[in-house]
Amino acid sequence: MSSQTLSTNTSSVGSASLGWMWNKAKGMGYPVLGIGILLAVWWFGGYLISSTPNTEAFAAFAPGPTFHALYDILVTGRIWDSIVSSLYRILVGMFWGAAIGIPVGVIVGYFSTMMKLTNIPFQFLRMISPLAWMPIAVIAFASWDSAIIFLIVMATVWPIIFSTAHGVRRIDPTWFKVAKNLGGSTTQVLRHVIMPAIMTDVLAGIRLAVGVAWVVLVPAEYLGVTSGLGYSINDARDTLEYDTLAAIVIVIGLIGYGLDWICQYFIKKFNWHIE
């Protein structure tokens, strides 16, 4: 290979690398700009709070004190137990929400009679705030943890049921005919036809459920528990540690965003429409 050819190939590789880096930078431009705008609005709000005599006591909500408190609670480990407790409740609640919601959704979507029978009752129950079940949860369950998990189940089960049922209803009826003609049993049809076809819908429902559950978790942890991010916010408010309170809010937002990103990843991974 001549030096001129080698030089040309090297130049092409370098140009391709620069093009890839430029496209990556362009793709990151809007998110970075959005975060910058959010921080600017937050800083301006903190400036208004600190410069107004009636609200200057809440100046610790500004970005500077908040990020300092965030660093402190992460480095000292004050927040990690709360994070673990909240994630445990979310994961257990999501597990039971999916364990109930997916089978019920398949049954409702597959059988037209079940759809007609359950539509109004399920829509009615779906519109009740999960927190409205709090008095019943406190009475029905022996521990606060179990009560909170029950509230999370009530928040997550409905999006999963409706998304799963919608996915089943969208399946081409021809697929079922082909499966039966090939001698497929009910279990085989469920495993090889229904579940692969509705996986994206199920995961979309789980993504919606995670968002609702994460929002419900914080006020639910205002109950008698002594751990969790909701408890930590309540404790910071009672001790007037507004910088710590704002830092915990950031932690809640970051974890919630991370959970949503994980759901999006699995939706793309199991979506056979995407190349």
Position 103 scores a pLDDT of 94
Q: No. of H helices and E strands in the chain? A: 11, 0
Of the pLDDT bands very low, low, confident and very high (cuts 50, 70, 90), residue 25 is low
Q: How far is CA 145 from the centre of its chain?
A: 20
Could you give the CA distance from residue 168 to residue 173 in angstroms, rounded to a whole number?
10
Chain position carrying tokens 């970075």 = 32
For 180-196, the pLDDT digits (tens) are 888 877 788 888 888 88
The domain ranges of the chain are 3-59, 74-270
Position 77 scores a pLDDT of 86
Position 107 scores a pLDDT of 92
Position 176 scores a pLDDT of 81
- Among residues 155, 145, 154, 161, the alpha carbon closest in space to that of 87 is found at 145
Can you tell me the mean pLDDT for 60-69? 85
- Using the predicted structure, report yes or no on whether residue 275 has a pLDDT greater than 50: no
For 207-244, the pLDDT digits (tens) are 999 999 998 988 888 877 788 888 898 888 888 888 89
- pTM given for the model: 0.80
Which range is most confident: 3-7, 15-19, 100-104, 108-112?
Answer: 100-104
Provide the token pair at 165: 């049922």
Could you tell me the CA-to-CA distances from 104 to 65, 111, 171, 176 in Å, in that order?
Answer: 48, 11, 17, 19
- Express the helix, strand and coil content of the chain in percent, nearest 5 each: 85, 0, 15
Q: Is 180 within 8 Å of 189 (Cβ atoms)?
A: yes
Can you tell me the mean pLDDT for 136-152? 89
Position 186 scores a pLDDT of 78
Could you tell me the CA-to-CA distances from 177 to 133, 160, 174, 194 in Å, in that order?
Answer: 43, 27, 5, 13
Position 6 scores a pLDDT of 45
Of the pLDDT bands very low, low, confident and very high (cuts 50, 70, 90), residue 138 is confident
Can you tell me the mean pLDDT for 114-142? 90
Q: Is 105 within 8 Å of 163 (Cβ atoms)?
A: yes
- Using the predicted structure, report yes or no on whether residue 44 has a pLDDT greater than 90: no
DSSP structure string for 166-209: HHHHTS-HHHHHHHHHTT--HHHHIIIIIHHHHHHHHHHHHHHH
* % pLDDT > 90, the chain: 33
Q: Nearest 10 degrees: CA dihedral of 34, 35, 41, 47?
A: -160
For 2-38, b/e burial (b = at least 16 CB within 10 A) is eeeeeeeeeeeeeeeeeeeeeeeeeeeeeeeeeeeee
- Among residues 133, 135, 123, the alpha carbon closest in space to that of 162 is found at 123
Provide the token pair at 95: 């597990």
| CATH top class, domain 74-270 | mainly alpha
- Among residues 90, 39, 84, the alpha carbon closest in space to that of 66 is found at 39
Provide the token pair at 131: 């927190």
